[in-house]
Structure 1
Amino acid sequence: MKTTKYLLALILFFCSMDSVMSQVNSNAINDSLKTADTTISYVVVELENNKSITGKKVSDDGREIGIMTVDKGLILIPKYQIRTITVSATMPSVGGKKVFPNPHPSRYLYSPSGIPLKKGDGYIQAIYLVAYQGQYALTDHFSIGITSTLWASPFLVNVKYTNTLHKSADGKKNVYLATGIQAGSLTYIDPRTYFGIGYAGLTFGNPESNVTVNGGFLGESSIWYYNQYDPLTGRWTGDEGRENEFLPAISLSWNQR
Structure 2
Amino acid sequence: MRRYLFFIGLLFSFKAVVAQDRIVFDDRANLISSQVEYLLSEKLKQNDISLSTTVDIKEKCRYYFAKIYKSENRIITEVENCDGKLLGSKSNGENLLSSNDEEKAIVIYYAVLDIIQNPTMLDEDLSENKQEVSANINSEHDSRYFFAPTSFGLKERELYYNSIYFLLHDIQYGLTDNFSIGMGTTLFGFPVYFTAKLSIPLKEKHSIALGDMMILGTYGTNFFGNLGFATYSYGDSHNNLTIGAGYLNVNNNDITEANTGSLVGNFSAIVRGGPFFYFLTENYVFNVNSREYAYRERMLPNGDYTYDEGEYNLRRTLWYGLTGIRFVRKNKELVSWQIGLTHVLIAPGNIPSPYDSPSWDPYGYRNEKSRMIAFPTLSYTRKFKLE
TM-score range, shorter chain: 0.5 to 0.7
- Give the letter aligned to residue 214 of structure 2: A
- Give the letter aligned to residue 134 of structure 2: K
User: What is the DSSP-based 3-state SS (H/G/I as helix, E as strand, rest coil) of the residue aligned with 1:96?
Assistant: helix
Name the Cα RMSD after superposition. 3.9
1: CA distance, partners of 2:120 / 2:175 = 41
* 1:156 paired residue number: 193
TM-score (norm 2): 0.38
Q: Which runs of 5+ in 2 are unaligned?
A: 11-16, 18-76, 90-117, 122-128, 273-387
* 1:182 paired residue number: 213
Residue 131 of structure 2 is aligned to residue 98 of structure 1: no
2: CA distance, partners of 1:215 / 1:180 = 11
Q: Work out the number of aligned pairs and report it.
A: 172
User: What is the DSSP-based 3-state SS (H/G/I as helix, E as strand, rest coil) of the residue aligned with 1:118?
Assistant: coil
2: CA distance, partners of 1:183 / 1:157 = 5
* 1:114 paired residue number: 151
TM-score (norm 1): 0.54
* 2:261 paired residue number: 246
Alignment CA distance shift 1:223-1:94 (3 Å): farther
2: CA distance, partners of 1:203 / 1:94 = 28
1:203 Cα deviation after fit? 0.7
Specify which of 177, 183, 193 is matched with residue 140 of structure 1: 177
User: What is the DSSP-based 3-state SS (H/G/I as helix, E as strand, rest coil) of the residue aligned with 1:147?
Assistant: strand
1: CA distance, partners of 2:243 / 2:183 = 22
1:43 Cα deviation after fit? 4.5
User: What is the DSSP-based 3-state SS (H/G/I as helix, E as strand, rest coil) of the residue aligned with 1:180?
Assistant: strand
1: CA distance, partners of 2:131 / 2:265 = 31
Specify which of 179, 186, 192 is matched with residue 222 of structure 2: 192
Identity of aligned residues (%): 24
- Give the letter aligned to residue 214 of structure 1: G
- Give the letter aligned to residue 207 of structure 1: S
1: CA distance, partners of 2:267 / 2:82 = 34
2: CA distance, partners of 1:94 / 1:109 = 30
User: What is the DSSP-based 3-state SS (H/G/I as helix, E as strand, rest coil) of the residue aligned with 1:122?
Assistant: strand
- Give the letter aligned to residue 216 of structure 1: G
1:210 Cα deviation after fit? 1.4
User: What is the DSSP-based 3-state SS (H/G/I as helix, E as strand, rest coil) of the residue aligned with 1:102?
Assistant: coil
1: CA distance, partners of 2:209 / 2:168 = 22
1:97 Cα deviation after fit? 4.3
- Give the letter aligned to residue 264 of structure 2: A
- Give the letter aligned to residue 159 of structure 2: G
* 1:126 paired residue number: 163
User: What is the DSSP-based 3-state SS (H/G/I as helix, E as strand, rest coil) of the residue aligned with 1:248?
Assistant: strand
Q: Which runs of 5+ in 1 are unaligned?
A: 1-16, 26-31, 33-40, 58-66, 71-92, 169-173, 226-241
Larger Rg: 1
